[in-house]
Amino acid sequence: MAPSLYLFLFLLIFNSGNRVASKSKVRSFPEGFLFGASTSAYQVEGGAFDDGKGLSIWDVTSHEKTSPIQDGSTGDVSANSYHFYKQDVEIMKDLGLDFYKFSISWPRILPDGFANNVNKAGIDYYNNLIDEMLNNSIKPFVTMYHWDLPQQLQKIGGWTNPYIADWFKDYASVLFENFGDRVKHWITINGPSEICYGGYGSDLLAPMLNMTGIADYACAKNVLLAHANAYHLYDEMFREHQNGTIGIALNFTWFEPTSDNPDDHQAARDARQFLFGQYAHPIFTKEGDFPEEFKRKIAGKSAEQSFKRSRLPELSATEVTAIRGSADFLGINSYTTKMVYRDASIEGMYPVPSYMDDMGVVIVKDSMWPQSQTDWLQEVPWGFYKMLREVNRLYDNPLVYITENGWSTAGGLLDEDRIRYLRNYLSALLDAIDAGCNVQGYSVWSMIDAFEWRDGYNAKFGLYEVDFSNEDRSRTPRKSAFIYKEIIKSKSLDPHYEPEVYLEEVPENEEKKDDYVYNK
């Protein structure tokens, strides 16, 4: 039987046995469970050149002569939250959010990346945002770094320069000193796998270095050390009087084997180690360090390719100790699931050396899974459940916040597919909690439409639609906003709830959208 036919038949059988059963009853969330929504600085703030802000790698990348962005757009203005932050807080209040996860722009605070030059206007902006949130009883979950590295630091290697661990510590100190009296939940770094593989091992994200199998591994070590530096700084200098918590947000995709073949099961384990194990294992396991199999695979491939040493930088005993246990909680960014297998077809599939060649698996998606506007995002709630169970097993059931989870559409206010996705994933989350997983909060991506990196404004993730064509950047709630609002208000998941105040029909004509009325 041809491998492609075998795979297709297996997916048919496998998918039929893994559909999440529809939940017909109302399900309650645990007491104290927190609900939030997320954004990031470059994606929503705008104000890219305002008030002394320095250039970030995304300011530079999005303005390249030949744009790498699908629609040729930039984040120069985006949703203009830099000027319209009070409108954003009104949305938070209307939704009833317990918390809002947002990121601070490193170059808005330190224009050149270094702590000798602090931009007061940047400090003032985030002080105003934090105070406005607290005045409306919304907790700030603050991410220190969400991909917008100061361009001046990138000129000297960015996340591949080992000194960046010290520069990040200096930056963190400025944040703790200025905001730590009010911020009680800190996330050091968002999505290291995207930073390192996306930005340094490929051309998917800025700075698009595309030096896979070498730069991405150097980045991974430095990100872990930078995170640990910030954690220990907080522990030693700020925790006692600021009394907050500090963690990291990692990307988790569940990888499922395409068959019961032991090789395919090992392929799935390898894929998980390469995506999240290389970051979670050093922090959240008792032994620390990179996973052993992960180290062996890269060392073996490096030797085959005549390198004098492993392309994966070694963590010293001192570094292993510093990184191990350096988080009060684990933030999980998780959206989808992929299928993986291993066979002879992999030979010659990937560049040598490369991250993907080191991993040594073939990654596919099931065409029967519901597809979003974004190519990589399919709805697979049973994979979300399995991922949470695996985190529980591998990392001794850490305190978890779901820091990103969401669905993209092409636009429009009637987003039934997003509603279905959110309900199915929240139901899977409740299943995981029932199974003993220590998940204490959930944040949807995203609160409002945003600049979605290489996709530009083609993909809409927001509960609120943003009109990017008008200077006022008006925000209009989608149907999903009303559904999420009710989930937060009732602290329960009712699969049959329909918002009574929502009109049966939303005007198709953009000129008539002002006539659309909803009751807050």
Report which residue type is found at 22.
S
What are the pLDDT digits (tens) for 105-124?
A: 999 999 999 999 999 999 99
Nearest residue to 422 via CA among 476, 481, 501, 338? 481
The whole-angstrom separation of Cα 51 and Cα 44 is 17
- Please list the ranges in the chain whose pLDDT falls under 50: 1-22, 504, 510-520
Domain assignment present for 132: yes
Q: Which domain covers residue 249, as residue numbers?
A: 3-515
15 by Cβ neighbours in 10 Å (0-12 / 13-18 / 19+) ranks as middle
Does the residue 66 lie in any domain?
Answer: yes
> Is residue 468 one of the residues assigned to a domain?
yes
Q: What secondary structure does DSSP assign to 420-451, as a single string?
A: HHHHHHHHHHHHHHHTT--EEEEEEE-SB---
Domains in the chain, number: 1
For residue 246, the cross-strand partners are: 186
Q: Is residue 247 part of a domain?
A: yes
Predicted pLDDT at 338: 98
Q: How far apart are CA 272 and CA 279, in angstroms?
A: 11
260/468 Cα distance (integer angstroms): 48
pLDDT of residue 508: 52
Structure confidence at residue 23 (pLDDT): 58
Q: Is 319 helix (H, G, I), strand (E, B) or coil?
A: helix
Distance CA(142)–CA(246), nearest Å, equals 10
In angstroms, the CA 328 to CA 151 distance is 30
Is residue 380 in a domain?
A: yes
Q: What is the pTM of this model?
A: 0.92
Segments in 180-316 forming alpha helices (H): 192-193, 215-233, 239-242, 262-272, 278-284, 292-304
In a domain, 520, yes or no: no
In 3-state terms, what secondary structure has residue 209?
A: coil
Residue 339: partners with Cβ closer than 8 Å, 6 or more residues away = 11, 14, 255, 256, 257, 258, 363, 364, 365, 366
pLDDT at 16 (0 to 100): 41
Q: What pLDDT does 502 receive?
A: 63
Q: What is the pLDDT of residue 12?
A: 42
Inside any domain, residue 371: yes
473: its two tokens: 């950047």
Token digits for 32? 């104290």
Q: What is the pLDDT of residue 500?
A: 80
**How many whole angstroms separate alpha carbon 276 and alpha carbon 295?**
14
Please indicate, yes or no, if residue 136 is contained in any of the structural domains: yes
pLDDT at 347: 81
Compute, in degrees rounded to 10, the torsion defined by CA atoms 309, 295, 274, 444.
-110
Q: Is 259 left (phi over 0), alpha (psi -120 to 50) or beta?
A: beta
CATH number at residue 259: 3.20.20.80
